[in-house]
Amino acid sequence: MAWERVACPREFGGMGFQNFKVFNLAMVAKQGWSFLSKPESLVARVFKSRYFPRSSFLGAKLGNNPSFAWRSIWNSRKLFLYGCRWTIGHGQEVIVMNDPWVRGVHGSWVQSPQR
């Protein structure tokens, strides 16, 4: 479908997309959210075993030779890292020295000192 038709408002027969990059990022981030909220799902377990077997989705590295799908989902992590907050609960899964806790002056994370 031509971009003029896709970006055309719905009332004029288009699909109503305003910014396709933002829309795509939202759809990919939705998949990342399902990794966080439904870790027992088949797709979450497959991606976890291939790309982040020893960490969480938020702590995952891009890795070597990533698929296009993983690269896209991995890039959406920035949205989660910027907006997510911890619920401590029993405290056994929080790595105090490595996980981001406090934002600095310019929006970057303050690193915990490691001794």
Cβ-based neighbours of 81, under 8 Å, separated by 6 or more: 58, 100
pLDDT digits (tens, 9 = 90+) for 70-114: 999 999 988 887 777 667 777 677 766 666 666 666 666 666 565
Judge contact between 102 and 110, C-beta under 8 A: yes
Task: Provide the whole-model pTM.
Answer: 0.64
Residue 25 CB: number of other CB atoms within 10 A?
A: 16
Predicted local confidence at residue 105, as pLDDT: 66
Query: Percentages helix, strand, coil for the chain, rounded to the nearest 5?
Result: 45, 0, 55
- Listed residue (36, 98, 19) closest to 73, CA to CA: 36
Predicted local confidence at residue 23, as pLDDT: 82
pLDDT digits (tens, 9 = 90+) for 33-73: 999 999 999 999 999 999 999 988 988 999 999 999 999 99
Residue 35 CB: number of other CB atoms within 10 A?
A: 24
The two counts, helices (H) then strands (E), for the chain are 5, 0
